[in-house]
Amino acid sequence: MPSLTDRLSAIVATHPLGARVPAVSVAVLADGTLTNAAWGAPPDTRFQAASISKPVAAMAALRLVARGELDLDADVNDVLRSWRLPPRPGWAARVSVRHLLCHGGALTMSGYPGYPVGAPLPGLVEILDGRPPADTAPVRVDGIPGLTFRYSGGGYVLLQLLLEELTGAPFADLAAELVLAPAGMTGAGFRAPDPTRVAVGHVDGVPVPGGWHVYPEQAAAGLWCTPTDLVRFAAAVQAAAAGRPGALLPPALGAELLTEQLPGWGLGLQLEHTGPNRRFLHGGSNRGYRCGLLATVREGHAVAVMTNSEDGSSVAHALAEAAAAATGWPDPPVYPPEQTASAVVAASAEARYVGRYDTDSGVPIAISAEGGELLLRVPGQPPLVVDPRSDTLAHLPAAGASLTFALDPAGRPTSLTLHQFGTGTTAHRR
């Protein structure tokens, strides 16, 4: 019978998008046994973990809660010092630390595109206010917190500032002390590693200029690591949820970590299924990288896949599905059937945004794919070219405006927000 590594190697070799993914690395935990393998790079090569940074940041915050240094339900404005989350006109919403962790704060800014290597980097307050050299919109409350899930990388930037001001330590050092070191994540860090040990990001088969983008939004997207590090993090989450002695969190807080706060989300982690088949997961999409972490809540099973290509998601899904099926997972995940390379490309990034979106006042905003470009149309105006910068952010260069997209769990946009003049106009998909 072929070994697990042989089975995964066959998937990489025959996958229709394999040629567009220069490096793939995987780690599998099965009943306490760790298996890792890599193609196109050594197994100790670091990748950007992208949004899988968020559950690591959430764990750092929860460690401070366990120490009694932070209140999970504290109003963030009672903890912040150098910056405060601005009130809405006539109403000051209360956003708690819990809201930040479960994406329940009704906050703007889903994701961040990062900055080219060598570009001026904004500070956290500049990012939160959307001031140069930040090139993204400000983070603001534009709804009622605590009622609805709304994915917000901006909320994790706010969390990063809060943790730094609370402790007086840089976030990279704080995360290393509270999470990375005790979880045994020896290859992980929130500062760029030795360039010779990094998998360079790729877009459409071409290396990202400078190798990768830099993310000062570290808690949202700045983690560098290996899949082995991510599997070790998953094992630490499982131990906390099981109430193991010496776990990163005490039993009550370990249980809270994977308790549904809003539909489908715990504290920093997405949740699936119920009962003995419960799983937690998180994906990651940075410029030039795609990755994923999936684990059972019950101890013993986890898989992480990291790729250095924006075409890597379907490869990662296929590997995760095969690894889970081969190692005895209860109710293993099943992803949609693979398509041909051309079909996958056409159905991904740009094509999924095509459609009509209506504002609350009834103004239709249409996005179409024409001649290899995405075009945005509003009534009475010439079309505008849409420049996608990440899964959730696009620029409208000719208008000096930007779009952020809210996504459902399948990655399909449910609404867009047009940012201009320091305000946002939201339109919901029909």
pTM for this one?
A: 0.80
Helix locations, 242-372, DSSP H: 251-257, 313-326, 341-347
Tens-place pLDDT, residues 242-289: 999 999 999 999 999 999 999 899 999 999 988 888 999 999 999 999
Mapped onto helix, strand or coil, the DSSP state of residue 75 is strand
- Structure token digits, residue 104: 């329940």
According to the 3-state scheme, what is the secondary structure of 189-249? ECCCCCHHHECCCEECCEECCCCCEECCCHHHHCEEECHHHHHHHHHHHHHHHCCCCCCCC
Residue 301 and residue 32 in contact, taking contact as beta carbons nearer than 8 Å: no
Confidence at residue 337, expressed as pLDDT on a 0 to 100 scale: 47
Phi-psi region of 168 (alpha: psi -120 to 50; beta: other; left: phi over 0): left
Between residues 233 and 362, which one has the greater pLDDT? 233
Amino acid at 372: G
Confidence at residue 410, expressed as pLDDT on a 0 to 100 scale: 67
Confidence at residue 342, expressed as pLDDT on a 0 to 100 scale: 33
CATH superfamily of 1-347: DD-peptidase/beta-lactamase superfamily (3.40.710.10)
Residue spans per domain, the chain:
1-347, 349-429
Confidence at residue 396, expressed as pLDDT on a 0 to 100 scale: 83
Tens-place pLDDT, residues 38-92: 999 999 999 999 999 999 999 999 999 999 999 999 999 999 999 999 988 888 8
Query: How far, CA to CA in Å, does 224 sit from each of 10, 34, 214, 286, 321?
Result: 27, 20, 11, 11, 24
Q: Select the CATH number that applies to the domain covering 349-429 from these four: 1.20.1270.10, 1.10.150.120, 2.40.128.50, 1.20.1250.20.
A: 2.40.128.50
- Check for a shared fold between 1-347 and 349-429: no
Task: Using alpha carbons, select from 263, 54, 333, 86 the residue that is nearest to residue 179.
Answer: 54
Residue 249 and residue 243 in contact, taking contact as beta carbons nearer than 8 Å: no
Least confident of 160-164, 168-172, 263-267: 263-267
| Cα(10)–Cα(249) distance, integer angstroms | 39
Tens-place pLDDT, residues 320-341: 999 999 998 988 887 654 433 3
- DSSP assignments along 21-54, one per residue: -S-EEEEEEETTEEEEEEESS-TT-BEEEETTHH
Q: Are strands 24-30 and 115-116 parallel, antiparallel or unpaired?
A: unpaired
Element (H, E) at 167: helix 153-167
